[in-house]
Structure 1
Amino acid sequence: MLAFMWATEHKSFSAAARANDLSPSAVSKLVTRLENRLAVRLFQRGSRTLSLTEEGRAYFRSAQVVMEAMAEADSLAEAFPARLRGTLRIHTMATFAKHQLIPWLPEFLALYPELSVAIEVAAQYVDQFDRGFDIAIHSGVLPDSSRVARRIGEAHWITCAAPSYLKKRGMPLVPADLLQHDCFHFAFNSPWNIWGYEQEGETTVVPVQPRSTFNQGDLLRSVALSGGGIVRLADFHIGDDLKSGRLIPVLEDFRSTNPQPIYLVYPNRKNLSPRVKAFISALEQRIADYPWSI
């Protein structure tokens, strides 16, 4: 239909082709295919110009209505970002949701009154897109899959404790000193429980024996803030505590130089919904404006 409209406008297959970066034979074949499907001749083909047949003029009037409808549909689609609606479903870590999403979520929702957000949290990444999720945000190594993983930041894991605990028990000076301290980590099998430190150019893993374990990072944060002992948590989780001095980093001279990437995962690259695009843009701007690293 487009080829027919172009040829009608330019009165020539060659001119229509030049205007639309096609070959004259391609335009001619498209029009011929259309004529064969309709079983009518749309053009009288002269040596230099084309003229519409009676059937061609009737088809042109109908095609104009279709093209106007297409243009209207395109204009509506272009307006979607300003009037997002529906539910954006996000799967992420509880601590990331609490400390990096929730603080600015009301402002984001205020921009789009017809949009709602549903957040489901879990400590580790599991592909949930078959359940209707739009986005996942997780850290660490992701399993191989056909999903799109977009790196949006990185997490440095900080060993830290409250000033009250360090005043009582003293500051660990080398990684091995952790074995003499009250330490806490996650209750499930996770790389987050591997307390690795750079020492003389090599990574040393300290086999910490936790006094207690918790299945939520915020519980580890709470026990540390209460002066209970030493924890190891991501800076996106405890960045504000470190900046305020509520938690003090320890063993900074031995901190690992290999941060964990944080990925935003979505099903595929093509035809992202406007609500997904708007959220990704807002999240990346938030991270740029309020970095969590100290």
Structure 2
Amino acid sequence: MSLLRLTFLGTSAAQPTLHRNLSGLAVKADGDLLLFDCGEGTQRQMVRFGTGFTVDAAFFTHFHADHYLGIIGFLRTLGMMGRTEPMYLYGPQPARRLLHQAVHLGLESLAFPVEIQELKDGDKVQRGGYSVQAVAVDHRINALGYVLAEEERPGRFHLEKARALGVPEGPSFGKLQRGEAVTLPDGRTVKPEDVLGASRPGRKLVLSGDTRPCPALVKASRDADLLIHESTFSDDEQERAHETRHSTAREAGRVAQEAGARRLILTHLSSRHDTDPTRLLTQAREEFKGPLEVAYDGLSVELPLRD
């Protein structure tokens, strides 16, 4: 996988505002387009920010209305656009019941298949070159975070070593880079390890969903390239955070720092912080020492390959 790009479609908690839509994140992973949550109005945000509609799968963190009601209209739009490819929907229990209702709402049936799968802690969805793993988090209802983890990549190809061993340029180079041995005209076999450096770790993206700070998420976020953590409240709303099972920005910073995450983006903001998230940023920065920002609708982030 070469491309890993995120577009924030909605960054508000509970209700939309003039500036922020309800929860939604589009992730472009090479040829795949994934949705994480699909709040009301998500499809309009996809038009607005140019993500396209060729979604392969949607992952839901939980089934509070602000995180999934947008899938109803989105599926209908896909039907009107003539989609025939299957759509895969994933989420915690009761995903099968609630998403079945969403799929079959209305008089007309969809012209494309929709596969619904319930996930629990530790379940993994394997896709081309990467996986998406579910992590149980601490919210008022059954909820999941997600870890998108790229497979380990081959080491760098050493051109001079290959030439010195007599490997002809062309298809043989490609085979070695893909991990396949090559037999030379004189009968010698050149193995990938003869011309490749040490394997390189893949990228790791973690999405908290709605949650209190929890050990499972810290563990899942170890050495993540990017942790996207909800930060609904500020310090003076700590009691409310406990009551609603959400996190403050400071708590999100602590999670990122303890996990050793390389970068932190705060999202899912209460309307109190709609246009001025300065307090959230300041409080999280007192805990997390790495790169940090507050998401806004339309923010696009591309995660570079690890060296």
With the shorter chain as reference, the TM-score category is under 0.3
> Highest Rg: 1 or 2?
1
- What's the TM-score, normalizing by structure 1? 0.22
- What's the TM-score, normalizing by structure 2? 0.21
Which structure would you say has the larger RCO, counting Cα contacts within 8 Å and 6 or more residues apart?
1
